[in-house]
Amino acid sequence: MPKLDESLLTGLPPFSQLNRAQIREILDQAGSRRYEEGTAIFREGHDAESFFLLLDGYLRVVRTTPGGDQIIVLHISPGQLFGIAPALQRDTYPATAIAAAESIALSWSARVWSDFTARYPGFATESYKTLGQRLGQIQETLTEMATQAVEKRVACAVLRMANQSGRKTPNGIEIAFPVTRQNVSDMTGTTLHTVSRLLSAWQRDGIVESTRKHIVVTDPHALVLLSEQ
């Protein structure tokens, strides 16, 4: 395995208070791997042997019902820790992580988590902070799901993706990873048919532009209105 460079971790919240030597230590314990689009990094119910940091790419975190329906719980962007079930004393992962685009991630054995929290100042604090944000985010999705009509939910989902991983382009905000209609419906608990109709309608109204696996929000403000009103 080629030696990993320290610049990979510097500046990321969980490691921001550490010096070069400490980051070196941490990297020396890490494994790294590339995942093709569509590959699972870990699966729901499997032993939580590792936790991860996404260096590049995008992930979907997915739960599947006994009936085979699946829904996307959250997305992971570069720089975020994920699969931190071990930190919560879980012995299995509660969800599945799938590469939405070609991705690269570091991984550490679950055993070193307690080492890290004990030895590296700020690591525990920052990790639990992201955990708190994630919890809040999921609660928000839940309330949304329970109270809002389909169109608002879809608008919210698109906005959330645009916020988390949007790139500014001349035409508007472009979502930086491949998204199918099916994926959006898995985020919102509808059917791909309904999502397709909505996106077509929005395209007519000049709010979004979308081709297959690809969405650009041309009029974010109008979409915000749709999501709130």
Partner DNA sequence: TCCGAACGTTGCTCTGAAACAAACTCCCGG
Partner DNA sequence: CCGGGAGTTTGTTTCAGAGCAACGTTCGGA
The total number of residues written for the chain in this structure: 229
Is residue 89 a contact point for a second copy (CB under 8 A)? yes
Q: Per CB under 7 A, does 143 bind DNA?
A: no
Minimal distance, residue 52 CB to DNA, in Å: 24
Q: Which H helix or E strand runs over 99?
A: strand 96-99
91 contact, one of a second copy, DNA, none, CB 5-8 Å limit per kind: none
Backbone angles phi, psi at 193, to 5 degrees: -60, -50
Please state, in angstroms and rounded to a whole number, the distance separating the CA atoms of residues 188 and 195.
Answer: 9
Mask for 130-149, x = binds a second copy (CB under 8 A): -xxxxxx-xxxxxxxxxxx-
DSSP 8-state code for residue 80:
-
Amino acid at 168: K
Note whether 39 binds DNA by CB under 7 A: no
Residue type, 25: E
Q: Where are the alpha helices (DSSP H) in 110-175?
A: 112-119, 123-147, 150-165
Q: Identify what 200 binds: a second copy, DNA, none; CB under 5 to 8 Å per kind.
A: DNA
Which residues make up the interface to a second copy (CB under 8 A)? 63, 65-67, 69, 71, 73, 85, 87-90, 94-95, 124-125, 128-129, 131-136, 138-148, 188-189, 228
Residues that bind DNA (CB under 7 A): 149-151, 180-182, 189-194, 196-197, 199-200, 210-213
